[in-house]
Structure 1
């Protein structure tokens, strides 16, 4: 249910990067990105490419733990007036190099660890899904159609529940603690792929179950629309919502990533 292999994650880093680059032909990279309003498309592309290079470095150099301060992807505001003919090949080469680095190590090697988890396995999945979301950001800004394999989208949704969701609770405890309470559960149900998640908010940290279960509020829709909703790229308007809409709205606001 919504989980790809390590080998597929590595391959999809390259595939998603190439799909992103293919959308840039003739594009004005100076347009603002509505879903990342502080960036232009140019700056978004620099963010993606530098994220690849940061992950590549920590795998190749076998950093014992992740060091976010060494990522050049965190401040890209200085990049303006660059051309797709330059940025496109740079992104593709960066993705290919990262995939090669990941394929050359044991997925469970304890390098670039985060929260005690093996870095190669974690970052192969995280970088693939980072590229999916930012590809959507870019094509949405450029008014280019977006298509994705539902299997990849389902993997994205489950990866969000295992990475971004607990990250929000750890980083913003004052905000997220108000979501915790008896009976506070959220059911995400994909209608176009076998992917269902129940998010249990009855304890101090969310617990995620991959199953069908009655919840305080349920959201049903195509799996990529669910992904866009939890990443706050779209509202839940137009999706099927049953139950406690207030809990859902507060949840989506406070677990932003």
Structure 2
């Protein structure tokens, strides 16, 4: 997605998320984020908006900045959300994100503000989905049909997850002990991502599927594949080796 489209997605998804959170109210369990309540979503997104601004204002080669931690009490978290979101959008006003250098947490990312646009756009979209599930009182594990993500946003989210986030979070886990290949297929646009999994390495997107004894696939519309990657209820068809898929599970 182009930077302006990402900024529009942040605005639209965050406005909807805020409205849904206010409708849900404080202290409501969020089944799609086990152990979290609506307060946690609110506080986390205030943190995410603040982290993006901080990342853009931190020297490229500096240490990981202190992102702080917003309060979880409802009224204070809502105030922190509004301040952090407005500050982020103000920081983005009038700049060229692709030319604005930034500290990033992924070793695979270009060090520009575009990285933070993508992180925030998809954090907002996925947690908006979580709150929609909470509002619907839905803990069935079925895809929530009343919410849809446009194909461009979903495809960008799949790409961001596999190419930028996987290299960031997989090295923090125990080393991968198995090998194989995982295929993600967005059928509505016939877009395919082939992921190579090897013991001790970070999974990588490759140009073509490789012959492997172990394999898995996730197939469906881009919206469904996007949700499945993030571990949210989805009607994507999942087949093959679950242990392989687990190497790519969302944080």
Give the TM-score of the pair, scaled to structure 1: 0.78
1:109 equivalent in alignment to 2:87: no
1:106 and 1:189, CA in 2 relative to 1: closer, same or farther beyond 3 A?
Answer: closer
Return the alpha-carbon distance in structure 1 between the equivalents of residues 207 and 133 of structure 2. Answer: 30
> 2:25 aligns to what?
28
1:175-207 CA-partner distances (Å, limit 9, x unpaired): xx223x3xx111111122343211112472322
> 1:234 aligns to what?
233
Return the alpha-carbon distance in structure 2 between the equivalents of residues 254 and 202 of structure 1. Answer: 10
1:121 equivalent in alignment to 2:114: yes
> 1:146 aligns to what?
147
Q: How far off its partner does 1:30 sit?
A: 1.4
1:78-108 CA-partner distances (Å, limit 9, x unpaired): x24549xx83x76455334313313425524
C-alpha contact 1:13 1:95 (8 A) present in aligned 2? no
C-alpha contact 1:21 1:92 (8 A) present in aligned 2? no
1:134 equivalent in alignment to 2:127: yes
Q: How far off its partner does 1:128 sit?
A: 0.7
> 1:186 aligns to what?
182
Task: Select between 221-230 and 202-211 the one with higher mean Cα deviation.
Answer: 202-211
1:253 equivalent in alignment to 2:246: yes
How do 1:73-222 and structure 2 match up within 5 A?
A: 79-82=72-75, 87=78, 91=81, 94-103=84-93, 104-114=95-105, 115=107, 117-143=110-136, 145-174=146-175, 177-179=176-178, 181=179, 184-202=180-198, 204-209=201-206, 216-222=215-221
> 1:48 aligns to what?
45
Specify every segment of 5 or more residues in structure 2 that has no aligned partner in the other structure, as ranges: 138-145
For residue 33 of structure 1, give the secondary structure of its aligned residue in structure 2. coil
C-alpha contact 1:189 1:220 (8 A) present in aligned 2? yes
Specify every segment of 5 or more residues in structure 1 that has no aligned partner in the other structure, as ranges: none
C-alpha contact 2:216 2:245 (8 A) present in aligned 1? no
1:17 and 1:90, CA in 2 relative to 1: closer, same or farther beyond 3 A?
Answer: farther
Give the TM-score of the pair, scaled to structure 2: 0.79
1:137-193 CA-partner distances (Å, limit 9, x unpaired): 11111118322212111111111001222223311142xx223x3xx1111111223
Q: How far off its partner does 1:109 sit?
A: 3.4
Return the alpha-carbon distance in structure 1 between the equivalents of residues 202 and 228 of structure 2. Answer: 21
1:82 and 1:39, CA in 2 relative to 1: closer, same or farther beyond 3 A?
Answer: farther
